[in-house]
Amino acid sequence: MIYSPWARAGSWTATDLYGVNRFYVDISAPRLSQEVLDRGAILVYVKLTTENNQVRQLPVTVYAQFTEELLDFSLVVNRIRVWSTPIKPPIAPSPNNEFRYVLIPGGLAGRINYEKLSYEEAKEMFGFED
pTM of this structure: 0.85
pLDDT digits (tens, 9 = 90+) for 8-47: 999 999 998 888 889 999 999 999 999 999 988 899 999 9
Are 127 and 121 in contact by the 8 Å Cβ rule? The answer is: no
CA distances from 97 to 11, 33, 111 (A): 11, 25, 31
DSSP classification of residue 113: -
pLDDT at 108: 57
Distance CA 90, CA 111 (A): 40
Q: Is there a cis peptide before residue 30, judged by omega within 30 degrees of 0?
A: no
